[in-house]
A and B are shown apart, each in its own frame.
Chain A
Amino acid sequence: MAKYILKRIAGIFIVLFVVMTAAFFMMRLMPGGILDGVEENLSADMRDLIYAKYNMDKPIWEQYLLFLKGIVTEWDWGVSLKLYVNVSVWDILAERIPITLYLGFLSLLISVPIGIAFGTLAALKKNGIVDHAVSFLVVLFISIPSFVMATGLQYFVAYKWGWFPLIYDDSLPRITTTFLPVLALSFSPIATITRYLRAELSESLNSDYMLLARTKGLTRVQATMRHALRNSLVPVVNVIVPAFISIMGGSLVVESIFGIPGLGGITVRSINVADYSVTLASLIYYTLISLAAILLVDISYGLIDPRIRMGGSKDA
Chain B
Amino acid sequence: MKHTSKKRKTRFMCMLLLLALLLSGCGGSPSGDGNGDNEGGNTSAEGDYEGYYKTYLTASIATMNFLTDADGTSTELYSRSGLRLYNYVPDGNGGASLEGELAVSDPVCLDGDAGTTWEITLRENAKWQNGDAITADDFIFSMQTALDPEQLYTEGSKAANGLVEIQNAAAYLEQYAPGNSPVSWEDVGIKKTGDYTIQIITEYKTNAEKIKQHFNMPSTMLVHQATYESCWDSSHAVNSYGSSLDKYMSCGEYILTEWVTDSKYVLEKNPDYVHADLIKLPGIVYRVVADNNTALELFLQGELTQVALGSAEIENYLQDPRYMSDPPLQQLNVLINNRNTDNNGILNNLNFRKALFYATDRESIAALRNAIPATYILGTKMIVDESGTTFRSLESSSAYLPENYGYDPEYAKECYDLAMEECGLTSLNLTVIFSESSPNQRPIAEYIQTSWKEIFGDSFTLTLDPKPTTVAYSQRKGWTSNPNSYELAIEGYVPVDNILTDALKFYTTGYPNANEYNNNERVDALYQEAVYGEQALNDNDYLISLVQQMEQILIYEDYITCPVFEIPNAWLLDEHVQLPVTERVPGGGWMTDYAEFVTE
Contact = CB atoms under 8 A, between A and B. Distances in A.
Interface of A: 30-50, 53, 79, 82-87, 95-96, 98-99, 101-102, 105-106, 109, 154-155, 158-159, 162-176, 256-257, 259, 261-262, 265-266, 269, 272-274
14 contacts: A34-B70, A35-B154, A38-B154, A39-B477, A43-B174, A46-B152, A49-B152, A86-B243, A99-B27, A105-B18, A105-B22, A259-B289, A266-B262, A272-B468
Contacts of B298: 166-167
A108 to B, nearest CB: 10
Contacts of B65: 85-86
Nearest to A102: B26
B177 A48 contact: yes
B57 to A, nearest CB: 10
Given A30-B471, A37-B71, A170-B32, A85 B243 contact: yes
Given A85-B69, A166-B294, A175 B474 contact: no
A164 B26 CA distance: 21
Interface of B: 18-19, 22-32, 34-36, 38, 41, 43-45, 48, 59-60, 62-63, 65, 68-71, 152, 154, 156-158, 170, 173-174, 176-178, 180, 238-243, 260-264, 287-291, 294, 297-298, 300-301, 303, 468-471, 473-475, 477-478, 506, 512-513
A171 B34 contact: yes
Given A102-B26, A165-B43, A82 B173 contact: no
A85 B22 contact: no
A171 B470 contact: no
A7 B38 CA distance: 50
Contacts of A38: 70, 154
Contacts of A83: 60, 62
A106 to B, nearest CB: 5
B157 A46 contact: yes
A168 B294 CA distance: 12
Contact of B470 (A36, A46, A47): A36
Given A38-B154, A162-B44, 9 more contacts: A53-B152, A102-B26, A158-B43, A159-B301, A166-B294, A167-B287, A167-B298, A172-B38, A175-B23
Contact of B263 (A101, A168, A175): A168
A269 B34 contact: no
A171 B48 contact: yes
A98 B27 contact: yes
Contacts of A48: 177-178
A269 B512 contact: no
A95 B31 contact: yes
B260 to A, nearest CB: 5
Contact of B474 (A33, A170, A176): A33
Contacts of A164: 43
Contacts of A273: 71, 470
B583 to A, nearest CB: 28
Given A84-B243, A86-B65, A170 B512 contact: no
B45 A172 contact: yes
A272 B58 CA distance: 14
Contact of B154 (A42, A106, A261): A42
Given A39-B512, A165-B43, A171 B27 contact: no
Contacts of A274: 470
Contact of A170 (B264, B468, B475): B264
A210 B290 CA distance: 54
A220 to B, nearest CB: 23
Nearest to B514: A40
Given A49-B152, A266-B262, A41 B158 contact: yes
A170 B260 contact: yes
A269 to B, nearest CB: 7
A98 B26 contact: yes
Contact of A171 (B38, B156, B261, B475): B38
B36 A43 contact: no
Contacts of B513: 39-40, 42
Contacts of B45: 165, 169, 171-172
A49 B174 contact: yes
A172 B36 contact: yes
Contacts of B170: 43
A32 B38 contact: no
B262 A261 contact: yes
Contacts of A37: 70-71, 473
A223 B22 CA distance: 33
A166 B471 contact: no
A301 B539 CA distance: 84
Nearest to A175: B23
Contacts of B263: 168-170, 259, 261
Nearest to B471: A31
B456 to A, nearest CB: 30
Contacts of A269: 59
Looking at A42, A95, A170, A174, which has the most chain B CB atoms within 10 Å of its CB?
A170
B290 A256 contact: yes
B22 A46 contact: no
